[in-house]
């Protein structure tokens, strides 16, 4: 994505234990105030990129949670 000199913060680690899948997921968070145009997106590696303001992200997560990762609501509440 072309990000340099970043300092993500290690958050929680979750175990996903399903009948067909068993793994750990480590979450990291970072807040940046940078124009979306500065990100270098490799279209063959990323299905979709959307840019949200804080209020828009909270609204989208509340209205369509199925479009986001399962724990995103918790992280939005912490960082938004």
What are the tens digits of pLDDT across the range 47-67?
A: 777 777 788 888 988 899 888
- Helices in 1-80 by DSSP H: which ranges? 54-63, 72-79
pLDDT at site 63: 93
pLDDT at site 80: 62
Q: Rounded to the nearest 5 degrees, what angle is found at the Cα of 14, between the Cα atoms of 12 and 18?
A: 170
Q: Residue 15 in 3-state DSSP?
A: strand
Q: Which of 52, 9, 60, 47 is nearest to 30 (CA)?
A: 9
What are the tens digits of pLDDT across the range 4-34?
A: 788 888 988 888 787 788 888 888 887 777 7
The whole-number average pLDDT for the span 63-77 is: 82
Q: Which of 24, 4, 6 is nearest to 14 (CA)?
A: 24
Total-model pTM = 0.50
**Residues sharing a CB contact under 8 Å with residue 30, sequence separation 6 or more, in sequence order:** 6, 7, 8, 9
């Amino acid at each position: 994505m072309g990000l340099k000199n970043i300092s993500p913060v290690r958050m929680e680690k979750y175990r996903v234990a399903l009948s067909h899948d068993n793994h750990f997921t480590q979450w990291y968070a970072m807040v940046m105030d940078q124009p979306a145009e500065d990100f270098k997106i490799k279209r063959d590696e990323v299905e979709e990129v959307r840019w949200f303001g804080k209020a828009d992200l909270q609204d989208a997560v509340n209205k369509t949670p199925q479009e986001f990762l399962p724990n995103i609501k918790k992280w939005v509440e912490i960082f938004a």
